[in-house]
Amino acid sequence: MKKAILLILVTLLFLNKSNGQITKDNWMVGGNASFAFSNAGPRDNGSKTTDLSLAPNIGYFFMDKFAGGIRLSFNRNHIKYGLSNNFSTFKNYSIGSFVRYYFLNVDRQYNILMEGSYQFGKGKILISHF
Q: Please tell me which of 22-31, 36-45, 103-112 the model is most confident about, judged by mean pLDDT.
A: 22-31
Q: Taking a C-beta distance cutoff of 8 angstroms, is the pair 69, 97 a contact?
A: yes
The helix (H) or strand (E) run that includes residue 99 is strand 87-102
Higher pLDDT, 122 or 17: 122
pLDDT at 57: 94
Tell me phi and psi for residue 7, to 5 degrees. -60, -40
CB atoms within 10 A of CB 40: 15
The lowest-confidence range among 18-22, 72-76, 81-85 is 18-22
